[in-house]
A and B are shown apart, each in its own frame.
Chain A
Amino acid sequence: MDTAFSSEDLKFQSDVREFITNNYPKELKESIGAKRKTGKELSRDDLMSWHKILGKHNGWSAPGWPKQYGGAEFSPTQKYIFEQECARAECQYIMPFGVNMVGPVIYTFGNDEQKAKHLPGILSGDVFWCQGYSEPGSGSDLASLKTSAVKEGDHYVVNGQKTWTTLAQHADWIFCLVRTNPNAEKPQQGISFLLIDMKTPGITVRPIKLMDGSHEVNETWFDNVKVPVENLIGQENMGWTYAKFLLAHERSGIAGVARSKKALERIKQIASTEMSYGEPLIQDPAFKSKIANAELELNSLEYTELRTLAKDSAGKGPGPESSLLKIKGTDIQQMVTELAMEAVGYYANPHLGTTLSNEYVGPDYATNLSGSYFNFRKASIYGGSNEIQRNIIAKMVLGL
């Protein structure tokens, strides 16, 4: 048993650190920083420019992809180091929809033309993807989805509505689960996986405002949208298999250990600035013990993730254990956003960056902390709610 980094790992770590120092654009850091302080939303460029820089560097925008598809093919240890370093430097995180979700589906189940057409754009960050899974009537029960795709000649005609489409307002393409056989014996058997160009006539995107006021998700409507048959991934009616594969990949990245660690570090700093009972808040025994509690959970989760990574490197892909990472990872993210909100006391109240006022008040580090708390209630709901994750573990791991 050995978790010490080898000399190659240490070299890799310093390479990553150096690359970030030399290449993470100062303007991007400032632009994102300024928007954070004023509660403004990030633009497509803010979201994608770091991805684009990584995309030009040995496939670093896709750490887990095989080299043959242009990825970095990092070892589990390298992936871990890379994430740690990006979090440490507070780099803008990479949008998961292309790299972690549809990319692996395309290179695993797609044909050569699809790989050639789509993988380069995902790697480079020039093409922005979004996910068309959930529907108003199909949340946790995803297989009940109704959006239909009817084959007419060399096209599918798609009709229906997707919802919670994250950042669809920026997206060039959407990957969708659609019903191609409404008469299948089981609902899972009539589903196909389609790639759809967002510029196709008949697609309408409408914003959904979340409780923190952010525009992060959308409704996406399909009205007689014509999708060429060559955009079908794998076989017709086999989409559920690809969807499950994708969900396991989605969950494995979802623990967010490195980011939560960084956030906890910052909360400790805030708590040593904020005062309570005439002393820095960090001296308050109740607050201290909440911090320590979150830290212990995080330490444990870090090693749970490392154990999973070590198993992955032994050749097994992410399995149902990734549900555990999702449950604990999102638990901790919620713990952390709550602690941050709590740390700033009254300055959790101001809602900055709205159209109602141009005033900016309070310490800059307090901006939008309550917003993050409210926003992150989503984490235990998305990607398969944490109750669904427990059902998965009960069935797949415990055999109940």
Chain B
Amino acid sequence: MNFDYTEEQTLLENMVTSFVRDDYDWDTRCSIVKTEEGWKEENWKKFAELGLLGVPFKEDHGGLGGEATDIMIVMEQFGKGLVVEPYMPSIILAGGLITNLGSSDQKNLIIPEIISGDRRYVFAYAEPQSRFDLFDVKCSATLDGDNYNINGFKSVVFGAGMATHLIISARTEGDQRSKSGITLFLVDIKSEGITLQNYPTIDEYRASEVIIENLRVSKENILGELGNSYEAIEEQVDLSTIAICSEAVGILQVLKDSTNDYCKNRKQFGQPISANQAIQHRLVDMMIEYEQAKSILYMAITADLSNPDERRKAASAAKARIGKAIKFVGENAIQLHGGMGVVDEYMISHFFKRATMIGILFGNVDFHMKRYIDLTQSNIQSINKDDGINLS
């Protein structure tokens, strides 16, 4: 049993840490999010140079063959810098789907291009009515000769405005909420039939509504089997959920440490406000929440993620627990910063906003609590009435 990083992992952490420190300081980040594009393509090139775009991909496609721990390392450090480039949507989620479902031809063509930074796929799955249910798909794809004709509406697609390609989930058969009949399509974002409405999010990332009207996609551009993609979608979303939990833990560390420093420096009534026990105990509780969040992330990372039920449990346990930590640490960070907490100008509110939006992404606390309960509280054996219980 150990929680140590390997030598390679320590190098990876140092590399991402120095990128955030040297190329992504607070002022730089603020100027990036104010541009029209909302990200900096040069940074993507830098990621490619550093090998970061290849972290989760297998060596035979030119990747680093990284595992959950490696992804955690990258995401945690990106969290500390509030890096807005679409690493999770493109590399972890869309990249994961392609690795999971792609034919060898598709993988040989696409993955090297992703790793080199020339292509960016993002996954368009959510719809206005679907909320967090990945199987709730109205968007339809009907066969018309050798092509599929796709119509539908995808909502809040993160990073679509920065993407070169989309992966679209569409229904090729079944009811709107059926787990079977969902098919994935690989499409060029410039294809006729795709319209993007781009907008900034409250936490200064970028997302788009994707309107799909009579989009024609050839059969060769189906990713995975026809009508049989739900399991892979669920799996990759679970793994991406763990990835954003890692980002959240990085953010929580900043929230907790910055608040600690602020309270030691802010003087009122002739002494630092951290001299008050009411403040001290709040800071301690924030630290405890942070440690508990980090612990459940470690639980998820070290779980047997190749076992579907273990993976589902791990992702939902982590997301639900970390979601609670986000609320507690985030809201208290703002509270203890007083007036400085509520202004746009000071960095703490930006960390709070990003953490809060991560709390919603891929399902909020209630959603994952329910999923966790469904996974853990079925088939419980009842107990004999004359069996004693030992609580001491």
Contact = CB atoms under 8 A, between A and B. Distances in A.
B287 A297 contact: no
12 contacts: A2-B302, A76-B1, A263-B389, A268-B380, A270-B389, A272-B382, A292-B373, A300-B292, A300-B295, A307-B3, A337-B391, A340-B389
Interface in A6-50: 9, 32-33, 36-37
A356 interface: no
Interface stretch (B39-47, B56-64, B278-286): B278-286
B239 to A, nearest CB: 16
Given A36-B388, A291-B373, 6 more contacts: A3-B298, A273-B383, A288-B373, A328-B288, A363-B386, A365-B383
Contacts of B277: 391
Nearest to B378: A282
Nearest to A364: B386
Interface in B369-390: 369, 372-373, 376-377, 380-383, 385-390
Provide the main secondary structure of the chain B interface: helix
Contacts of B376: 292, 295
B391 A272 contact: no
Interface in B67-90: 69
B223 interface: no
Given A365-B383, A369-B391, A394 B369 contact: no
B317 interface: yes
A266 B389 contact: yes
Interface in A90-117: 90, 93
A344 to B, nearest CB: 10
The 10 closest A-B pairs by CB, nearest first: A303-B295, A269-B383, A300-B292, A394-B280, A363-B385, A3-B302, A273-B382, A36-B388, A272-B382, A300-B296
Contacts of A33: 388
A310 B389 contact: no
Contact of A282 (B2, B317, B377): B377
Interface of B: 1-5, 69, 260, 263-264, 274-275, 277, 279-281, 283-285, 287-288, 291-293, 295-296, 298-299, 301-302, 317, 320-321, 369, 372-373, 376-377, 380-383, 385-392
Contact of A367 (B380, B381, B388): B388
B392 A372 contact: yes
A400 B274 contact: yes
A324 interface: yes
Nearest to B264: A400
Given A33-B388, A297-B292, A300-B299, A306 B1 contact: yes
A144 interface: no
Given A1-B301, A304-B292, A93 B280 contact: no
Contacts of A307: 3, 295, 298
Contacts of A301: 292, 295
A58 interface: no
A299 interface: yes
Contacts of B288: 324, 327-328, 393
B299 A272 contact: no
Contacts of B299: 3, 299-300, 302-303
A67 B372 CA distance: 43
A5 B2 CA distance: 10
A37 B292 contact: no
